[in-house]
A and B are shown apart, each in its own frame.
Chain A
Amino acid sequence: NAGVTQTPKFRILKIGQSMTLQCTQDMNHNYMYWYRQDPGMGLKLIYYSVGAGITDKGEVPNGYNVSRSTTEDFPLRLELAAPSQTSVYFCASTVSPGQGDTGELFFGEGSRLTVL
C-alpha cells in the first residue's frame, strides 16, 4: 500500500523561484491537507480540500496555492519563494465524516524545502 506519496523529498530553491510539491493518495480519501512544520514546532495548516474541485484556506495560506482536479492528487504551488517558506511540508488525507472511522490523518513522509 502506497498510502500518501509526496514528491520531491528534498528541494533547494532560490528566492523568487516557484515550484510545485506533488501529493497523491491511493486510499480514495475525499479529504486532503497540506501542513508545514517549522523547526521545533508543531504542524500548521496551509490549505485543505474536502473533495475534487473544492479547496479552502487554512491557518497560513499566504504565498501558496492549491488545486484539486482529482480525488487522488492535491498539489501545492509555491509562488515567488521566500526564506520564510523554508520548512518541512506534509500532505495528509482522511475519510469523510460519518464513514465510521476516527478521522485520523494519514501523512506522507514530508518534503523538506530550503529557500536561499
Chain B
Amino acid sequence: AQKITQTQPGMFVQEKEAVTLDCTYDTSDPSYGLFWYKQPSSGEMIFLIYQGSYDQQNATEGRYSLNFQKARKSANLVISASQLGDSAMYFCAMREGQGAQKLVFGQGTRLTINP
C-alpha cells in the first residue's frame, strides 16, 4: 500500500488565488512527521513546512500552511495568494518514528500558476 498518496498529478491556478495540494498518508506508528518540499524546474529540493503527529496546531510558514486532519490522515498544503514563482512540483513526505529519519515521498503534484 502507498504510504503517501498525492492524487493530483497537475493543478492550474490563477495568480493571487489560494491553492490546496492534497496529501493522504498511511501509518500505524503514533509518532510521525509530515513534510512538504518544492522542486522548481531547476531541480533542487526546497523544504517548505513540517507537521509533527503530536503537534496540536496546524503548521504555518509565511504563505504556506498545512491543513492537518489526523483522523482522516490528511496533510494538505495550502498556499495563499499564489505567485508565478510558485510554479513547481510539490512533494509530500512522511517520516515514521524517530529512528533513521527516513522520508517516504509521494509522487508529487505539478502546480502551474497562470498570470
B100 near A56: Cβ-Cβ < 8 Å = yes
* Count: A-B pairs, CB below 8 Å: 62
A97 near B101: Cβ-Cβ < 8 Å = yes
Interface residue tally for chain B (C-beta within 8 Å)? 23
Assess A48 versus B35: contact at CB under 8 Å? Given A43-B91, A107-B44.
Answer: no
Chain B residues positioned under 8 Å from A97 (CB to CB): 98-99, 101
- Of B14-22, B67-75, B76-84, B103-111, the one contacting chain A is B103-111
Give the Cβ gap from B37 to chain A, nearest Cβ, in Å: 8
Residue of A nearest to B52 (CB): A102
Interface mask (B42-71 → A, CB under 8 Å = 1, otherwise 0):
011101001010000000000000000000
Chain A residues positioned under 8 Å from B45 (CB to CB): 43, 90, 92, 105, 107, 110
Chain B residues positioned under 8 Å from A40 (CB to CB): 107-108
User: Interface of A with B (CB < 8 Å)?
Assistant: 31, 33, 35, 40-45, 48, 50, 56, 58, 88, 90, 92, 94, 96-98, 102-107, 109-110
